[in-house]
């Protein structure tokens, strides 16, 4: 805040004193079993209320399954990081709460004509460090994320895989025309571009903060958003934010927000029921029953825009390079049992990379049915009839697209054992797990994806295109090394199918919606037939919300919008 606002300084000083006490009294990081068995007991405040008012300050507590790993939008691919960063950062263009349509953000007007995008910026916006927002801040943001020659580029190992596919692969130049005009010249026609500008990875950073903090922005975020970073208690997995009374948009209705970690789904639901949290996510089948039966909370649900899958690392495991082996495993795994018995109806079977509510979904493709006889026959044809062993890496913390990862892994292990394949489960905490898979150390792994912009490109290109130059590809080979120059580490299958890649690239350049849709339907068919993943499920979005909460909007994209929330 600016130095000429003593009222805000006094308020935040007050919050540091009273809010710290409130935050300390809410749930500490819980090391309970993260799966649906849910050991451990809910913890609340000393008086059992957990949230709400502390003195004259109102505190909203959001409980989740895992702590953040970074609070720098250019340093992460994690949804856990995003839900916190979305409170502190804005984008040039933003999503309407709970919808996939675009709205004005730090830009009030925009136009994409051919390969030129022009934007008019909002005036009178202030960063949390007191600096005024101008076009130069986005120029610095873009260069920090995509330009290795930029003085303040934080390095290839620091910047996330979002840099290239969000902005870097498409934008040749960003220029400021005065303080409030931006022009972006694209390298090609690129249909998803405006939606990419609304993704969390396109959050606008302060040029001054970039220059002053460097990579320490991951611990000290500076945005223009509705909440301001206060502190991060990593030992107790708790992050505290305070209201930005100078916010350009709809100002927060609570004084502070506390994000806290309770690893067990069921324990988290019990915490909500007992009043120790106001909003929870990462809800599995048993936890949803706890919330539904609560007299203090309600279950809010919405169709998700996500996918859950098991990826084969073709670079590491030679057997996975054979399509017959990948299809055999797809036929062996009972995904119908997974969604009905383990996830208990909160998800539906997947047949392709995108869910049915995304452009390009191919309704003519059915999920792989379990067929052990066909699976064994395919293994025999591929020369692996006697079986082999591999590691299945999974996260132990619940995710919306896989709320019971250990049980899901045990199902896979049991199913594949019936066709002579030995599966060794390697379960890790979520942040180390992401590092493990993005560096290609896994044999196979569970993963999933919440869309950033509801565009098919955000699935097809972001997750299954290697994003390397042609000279990095080997003739007659449909996989590529993780060490290839420019490799997209979100493609944890190391898949490089040229026909698929060509269709996805053509779709990016197509502004005609019907023609674009047809290309994605063809790409979906190839992905299904080539089976770089076992397509597992698409999950509902579920939230547990205290009855003391008003104004909460379940937003599969860009949420949660906690500035809209108030407490009775």
* Residue 387 CA, distance from chain mean position: 35
How would DSSP label each residue in 105-165?
Answer: SSEEEEEEETTEEEEEEPSS-B-TTSPBP-HHHHHHHHHHHH-TTSTT---TTTS-THHII
Same domain membership, residue 440 and residue 328 = yes
Average pLDDT over residues 354-375: 97
Please tell me the pTM assigned to this model. Answer: 0.82
Same domain membership, residue 486 and residue 349 = yes
| Tens digit of each residue's pLDDT (9 = 90 or more) over 133-177 | 999 999 999 999 999 999 999 999 999 999 998 999 999 999 999
Average pLDDT over residues 68-87: 96
What is the per-residue pLDDT for 320? 98
Distance between CA atoms of residues 324 and 302, nearest Å: 36
Instruction: Tell me: pLDDT of 36 over 50.
Output: no
What is the per-residue pLDDT for 51? 53
What is the per-residue pLDDT for 285? 83
Least-confidence region, from 54-63, 104-113, 235-244, 315-324: 54-63
Average pLDDT over residues 223-240: 98
Residue where a domain stops, chosen among 165, 197, 217: 217
Categorize the per-residue pLDDT at 8 as very low, low, confident or very high, splitting at 50, 70 and 90.
very low
Q: Residue 268: left (phi > 0), alpha (psi -120 to 50), or beta?
A: alpha
Same domain membership, residue 322 and residue 288 = no
What is the per-residue pLDDT for 190? 96
Residues 6 or more apart in contact with residue 4 via CB below 8 angstroms: none
Same domain membership, residue 399 and residue 486 = yes
Q: What percentage of the chain has pLDDT greater than the value 90? A: 86
Same domain membership, residue 94 and residue 80 = no
Q: Is 142 exposed, middle or buried (0-12, 13-18, 19+ CB in 10 A)?
A: buried
Same domain membership, residue 129 and residue 40 = no
Average pLDDT over residues 221-248: 98
Q: Which two tokens stand for residue 333?
A: 């795994």
Residue 243: enclosing H or E segment and its boundaries?
A: strand 238-243
Same domain membership, residue 405 and residue 372 = yes
Distance between CA atoms of residues 463 and 415, nearest Å: 26
Instruction: Tell me: pLDDT of 560 over 60.
Output: yes
Q: Where are the beta strands (DSSP E) in 454-526?
A: none
Same domain membership, residue 229 and residue 175 = no
Instruction: Tell me: pLDDT of 11 over 80.
Output: no
Distance between CA atoms of residues 212 and 385, nearest Å: 60
What is the per-residue pLDDT for 432? 94
Distance between CA atoms of residues 403 and 338, nearest Å: 11
- 265: closest CA among 403, 149, 156? 403
Distances (CA, A) of 464 to 128, 312, 364, 495, 501: 37, 12, 21, 6, 8
Q: Which residue has the higher pLDDT, 490 or 1?
A: 490
Distance between CA atoms of residues 356 and 350, nearest Å: 9
Same domain membership, residue 526 and residue 475 = yes
Average pLDDT over residues 219-229: 98
Provide the number of structural domains found in the chain: 3
Residues 6 or more apart in contact with residue 509 via CB below 8 angstroms: 188, 189, 190, 191
Same domain membership, residue 472 and residue 552 = no
What is the per-residue pLDDT for 165? 87
* CATH code, domain carrying 65: 3.40.190.10
Q: Is 366 exposed, middle or buried (0-12, 13-18, 19+ CB in 10 A)?
A: exposed
Under a CB-based contact definition with an 8 Å cutoff, are residues 366 and 351 in contact?
yes
* CATH code, domain carrying 433: 3.10.105.10
Q: Which residue has the higher pLDDT, 451 or 11?
A: 451
Distance between CA atoms of residues 497 and 476, nearest Å: 10
Look up the domain containing 256 and give its range.
1-86+225-303+546-568
Residue where a domain stops, chosen among 183, 201, 217: 217
The Cβ-side half-sphere exposure at 375, using a 13 Å CA radius, reads: 21
What is the per-residue pLDDT for 164? 92
* CATH code, domain carrying 100: 3.90.76.10
What is the per-residue pLDDT for 17? 42
Instruction: Tell me: pLDDT of 469 over 80.
Output: yes
Instruction: Tell me: pLDDT of 29 over 50.
Output: no
What is the per-residue pLDDT for 398? 80
Residue where a domain stops, chosen among 217, 233, 252: 217
What is the per-residue pLDDT for 284? 82
Same domain membership, residue 339 and residue 291 = no
| Tens digit of each residue's pLDDT (9 = 90 or more) over 496-545 | 999 999 999 999 999 999 999 999 999 999 999 999 999 999 999 999 99
Q: What percentage of the chain has pLDDT greater than the value 70? A: 90
Distance between CA atoms of residues 155 and 474, nearest Å: 28
Same domain membership, residue 101 and residue 23 = no
């Amino acid at each position: 805040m600016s130095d000429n606002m003593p009222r805000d300084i006094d308020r935040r000083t007050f919050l540091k004193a009273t809010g710290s006490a409130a935050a300390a009294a809410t749930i500490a990081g819980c090391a309970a079993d993260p799966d649906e068995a849910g050991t451990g007991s809910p913890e609340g405040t000393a008086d059992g209320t957990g949230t709400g008012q502390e003195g004259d300050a109102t505190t909203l507590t959001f409980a989740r399954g895992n702590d953040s790993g970074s609070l720098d939008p250019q340093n992460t691919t994690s949804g856990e990081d995003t839900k916190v960063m979305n409170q502190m950062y804005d984008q040039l263009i933003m999503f309407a709460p709970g919808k996939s349509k675009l709205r004005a953000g730090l830009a009030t007007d925009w136009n994409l004509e051919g390969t030129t995008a022009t934007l008019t910026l909002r005036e009178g916006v202030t960063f949390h460090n007191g600096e005024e927002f101008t076009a130069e801040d986005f120029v610095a943001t873009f260069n920090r994320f995509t330009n290795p020659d930029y003085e303040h580029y934080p390095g290839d190992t620091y910047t996330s895989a979002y840099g290239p596919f969000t902005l870097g692969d498409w934008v040749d130049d960003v220029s400021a025309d005065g303080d409030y005009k931006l022009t972006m010249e694209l390298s090609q026609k690129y249909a998803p571009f405006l939606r990419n500008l609304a993704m969390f990875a396109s959050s606008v950073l302060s040029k001054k903060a970039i220059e002053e903090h460097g990579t320490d922005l991951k611990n000290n975020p500076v945005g223009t958003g509705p909440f301001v970073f206060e502190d991060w208690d990593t030992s107790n997995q708790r992050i505290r934010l305070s209201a930005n009374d100078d916010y350009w948009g709809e100002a927060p209705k609570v004084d502070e927000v506390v994000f806290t970690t309770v690893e067990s789904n069921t324990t988290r639901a019990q915490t909500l029921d007992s009043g120790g949290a106001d909003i929870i996510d990462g809800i599995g089948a048993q936890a949803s029953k706890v919330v539904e039966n609560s007299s203090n909370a309600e279950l809010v649900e919405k169709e998700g825009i996500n996918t859950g899958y098991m990826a084969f690392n073709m670079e590491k495991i030679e057997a996975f390079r054979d399509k017959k082996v990948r299809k055999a495993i797809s036929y062996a795994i009972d995904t119908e049992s997974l969604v009905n018995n383990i996830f208990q109806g909160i998800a539906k079977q997947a047949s392709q990379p995108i869910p049915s509510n995304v452009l390009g979904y191919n309704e003519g493709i059915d999920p792989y049915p379990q067929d052990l006889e066909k699976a064994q026959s395919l293994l025999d044809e591929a020369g692996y009839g006697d079986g082999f062993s591999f590691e299945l890496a999974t996260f132990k913390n619940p995710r919306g697209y896989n709320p019971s990862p250990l049980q899901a892994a045990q199902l896979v292990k049991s199913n594949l054992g019936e066709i002579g394949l030995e599966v060794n489960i390697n379960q890790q905490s979520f942040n180390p797990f992401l590092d493990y898979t993005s560096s290609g150390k896994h044999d196979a792994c569970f993963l999933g994806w919440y869309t950033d912009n509801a565009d098919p490109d955000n699935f097809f290109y972001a997750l299954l295109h290697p994003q390397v130059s042609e000279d990095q590809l080997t003739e007659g080979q449909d996989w590529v090394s993780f060490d290839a120059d420019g490799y997209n580490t979100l493609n944890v299958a190391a898949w490089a199918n040229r026909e698929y890649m060509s269709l996805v690239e053509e779709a990016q350049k197509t502004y005609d919606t019907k023609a674009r849709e047809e290309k994605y339907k063809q790409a979906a068919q190839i992905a299904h037939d080539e089976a770089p993943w076992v397509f597992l499920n698409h999950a509902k979005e579920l939230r547990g919300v205290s009855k003391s909460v008003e104004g909460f909007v379940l937003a599969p994209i860009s949420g949660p919008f906690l500035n809209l929330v108030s407490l009775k």
